[in-house]
Amino acid sequence: MKPHRIRMTHNLVMSYELYKKMSIYRAAPATSQEMTQFHSDDYVDFLHRVTPENVAQFQRELSKYNFEEDCPVFDGMFDLFSLSAGSSMEGAARLNRGLSDICINWSGGLHHAKKCEASGFCYINDIVLAILELLRHHQRVLYIDIDVHHGDGVEEAFYTTDRVMTASFHKYGEFFPGTGDLRDIGEAKGKYYAVNFPLRDGIDDVSYQSVFKPVIEGIMEWYQPNAVVLQCGTDSLAGDKLGCFNLSMDGHAECVRFVKEFNLPTLVLGGGGYTIRNVSRVWAYETGILVGMEMDRKLPMNDYMDYYAPEYTLSVPAYNVDNSNSPEYLDRIKNQVLQNLRRTRFAPSVQMQDVPRDIDRDVADEDSLDPDERMPEPLRDQHVVPETEMYEADAMGLRETARNGTRLVNEETNDAGSESPATNKDVLMEDAQSPSPGRKETNEAPADPAAMDVDGPGAVPSAPSGLATRSASDRMHSPTAAGSPVPQLSATAVADGAVADAGAAEEASSIMDVEPVEYAGPAAGGAAKPNSPTSASSTRGGDGGYDAPAGETGVGIKAKADAPNAEEPGAGDTQQATSPVRAPGTENAPAAAASKTSPGPVSGVALPARHTLAGMAPLKVAPAARALVAEREDGEATEDDYDDEDGEIRDAK
């Protein structure tokens, strides 16, 4: 009866994904006032106060409430059984309101607890509390017990009423609790409304079904219940530590399937069961029957796989033991039970009366839900995935791992005002794609000199009205391959549409003349490989251009040095590429001071200078370099003025 068996059952239900076929509710624990609908006030108060630490103070009460043998005091006792009772009562309330057809509470089914005492590991009789809840809306309720022990606590509670019929199939004769004889048929108005079918050791599937189905059919015919409570104790299975029956999992589950076929509001509860590896498998299998799902007999991976060794299957087979229930004995008991049912003559009724309004404790408070969450957990637990649903994760309000990344990228890229690294990274990765083979870009507007800001600190002003911008389709065919290092320019690179201060334009144009040139990839067998991470090498002097990968054509940007002393030291330093990777064969080639500019992001959107190309650092020209070029043009500076004895160039003032 330890909660560990419930945990194992829950794990199998989740592993088989049965939860997708049902709604899940977290019921509130039953209060002391709700428990006193059946149990006495002093008994409930005792349960609430006694603990293992103060048990010595309640020696008299322990004997009075039968806490001496099979019902010890343990930590969390009251909380455990109040939660079990609350779940059963909540399931009954949902059946009353028509919100569910079948409710399951495997932690319930404690059928031995009495009004003023505990018995047989049962402290609070959740079954009686649930039936009392059902009687608020239903005229007649049928209780069926397939536990190996007699359901004495439930029978005693309704022994004198005709609104509840109890039917128990149990072991009788020198067996706990010692009640449940064939002659126990009820008293007063409840006479013939208590059905007991005493059985002997070793009953198998065939013998059990030969008496279970006819008796239940007779009860449905004569009593005509409005709701059913089914207690599925698994100590009637073969191999149980305390049971003595020989039922297989299929024989036990056939009882559940048969009751379900009557299509009545049904509350399914747990009960006894002391071989936990069998308890969890049978209850998981019966959950699949109740939701109408076929289950593979090979167990899926779960947290308690070692418990099911060595066969690792769902089945619980019957043993090879003797069946002490002869056909003659079973037929005699069955005929007597059916004869008692015929004596009821008609289905009892009750006077119509107003029913108090129910409190919907299971409805989630809308104010407490997260408005930014697609499907909050309370709603997701209640959701049932349709049979035709192709994407179960979407139906449950979840995101698969493979789609989480997409969701995050979309949220970031769709945020126009965001300048997070993820946002610009997505744009830049698109900029860095290779051009299509054979594509040529034409009608390119010449670069405005004001787009090269030499003296500015790197701010990005707005674009002039006459400046041409590239479209998104043009950016897709940029000659820069993804991941290729980019040579630095002799000015701060800015996005399309960005201009600097007009006064610095003349100085920039005197350093570099930018014009579009057409290039083609090297011949077969050339140094550069297609799609290889190479970069243009900008060295001192020369007039070389950028070598594209083989088979690529497009428009490049060639920078020509207009200064007369382009070969002098330092003149090329303003255009030196800083990439650590060079194309093969270009280490010693005197290439031109070539600077590749990349088209900007989406037309009309200006990005800061730090987001020009993937892998490109902010490009700024050192003040010493600008002063060096200006003085050389005026003839005031010489090479010796800036070389010291160690060969280092220093800034002369």
Tokens of 441: 């870009």
Residue type, 438: G
Number of H helices, E strands in the chain: 18, 8
Does residue 326 carry a pLDDT above 70?
Answer: yes
Long-range contacts of 354-357 (CB under 8 A, 24+ apart): 355/136, 355/137, 356/136
List of residues 6+ apart from 206 with CB closer than 8 A: none
Residue 390: the pLDDT is 63
Give dist(CA 199, CA 212) in Å, integer. Answer: 11
Which pair of tokens denotes residue 461?
């002003």
What is the per-residue DSSP string for 97-128? TTS-SEEEETT---TT--SS--BTTBSS-HHH
Q: Is position 112 annotated as part of the catalytic site?
A: yes
Per-residue pLDDT of 551-603, as tens digits, reads: 444 444 444 444 444 444 444 444 444 444 444 444 444 444 444 444 444 44
Please give the average per-residue pLDDT across 361-369, as a whole number: 58
Here the tokens at position 36 are: 């006193």
pLDDT tens-digit readout, 296-324: 999 999 999 999 999 999 999 999 899 99
Task: Dig out the tokens for 88 from the structure.
Answer: 């059963």
- Cα 607 from chain centre: 38
Which of 367 and 138 is assigned the larger pLDDT?
A: 138
Residue 363 confidence (pLDDT): 53
Check: CB of residue 485 under 8 Å from CB of residue 519. no
Question: Do 367 and 360 touch, CB atoms closer than 8 A?
Answer: no
Please, how many CA atoms are within 13 Å of residue 608, restricted to the half-sphere of its CB?
A: 14
The reported pTM is: 0.60
Per-residue confidence (pLDDT) for residue 2, from 0 to 100? 79
Could you tell me which residues are beta bridge partners of residue 169? 197
The yes-or-no verdict on residue 413 having pLDDT over 60 is: no
Q: Would the pLDDT of 161 be above 80?
A: yes
Q: In b/e form, how buried is each residue of 4-36, taking b as 16+ CB within 10 angstroms?
A: ebbebbbbbbebbebbbbbbebebebbeeebbe
Residues in the chain: 653
**How far is it, in rounded angstroms, from Cα 71 to Cα 58?**
14
Q: Before 177, cis peptide (omega within 30)? A: yes
Residue 220 has pLDDT above 70, yes or no: yes
Cα separation, 573 vs 576, in Å, equals 5
Give which of 583, 578, 582 is closest to 618, Cα–Cα. 578
Identify which has the larger pLDDT, 398 or 25. Answer: 25
Does an H or E element contain 82, and which?
Answer: helix 77-96
Digit-coded pLDDT (tens) for 439-451:
444 444 444 444 4
The stretches of 174-275 forming alpha helices (DSSP H) are 205-222, 249-260
Half-sphere exposure of 141 (CA within 13 A, CB side): 26
Residues 6+ apart with CB under 8 A from 374: 397
Grouping H, G, I as helix, E, B as strand and the rest as coil, residue 169 is strand
Instruction: Tell whether omega for the bond before 584 is within 30 degrees of 0, i.e. cis.
Output: no
- Residue 22 DSSP class: S
CA distance between the termini of the chain: 92
Domain with CATH 3.40.800.20 in the chain: 4-342
Q: Identity (one letter) of the amino acid at 396?
A: M
Give the residue among 181, 104, 190, 182 at the shortest CA–CA distance from 141: 190
Q: Which residues of 247-282 are buried (b: 16+ CB within 10 A; e: fewer)?
A: bbbebbbbbbeebbeeebbbbbbbbbbbbbebbbbb
Classify 4-342 by CATH class.
alpha beta
| pLDDT at residue 367, rounded to an integer | 64
pLDDT digits (tens, 9 = 90+) for 58-91: 999 999 999 987 899 999 999 999 999 999 999 9
% of the chain exceeding 90 in pLDDT: 50
Beta carbons of 460 and 501 less than 8 angstroms apart:
no
**Highest mean pLDDT out of 27-36, 346-355, 444-453, 524-533:** 27-36
d(C-alpha 462, C-alpha 619), whole Å? 19
Helix ranges restricted to H, 417-463: 421-431
Confidence of residue 38 (pLDDT cuts 50, 70, 90): very high
Interatomic CA distance for residues 20 and 447, integer angstroms: 61
CA angle (82 as vertex; 77, 88 as ends), nearest 5: 135
Q: Which of 10, 112, 149, 252 is catalytic?
A: 112
**Residue that is written with structure tokens 């060969």 in the block:** 647
Q: In this predicted structure, what is the pLDDT of residue 188?
A: 93
| Confidence band for 287, pLDDT divided at 50, 70 and 90 | very high
Which tokens belong to 549? 């990968």
In contact, 431 and 599? CB cutoff 8 Å: yes
Statement: residue 177 has pLDDT above 80:
yes
| pLDDT exceeds cutoff 70 at 132 | yes
Structure-token pair, residue 514: 């930018």
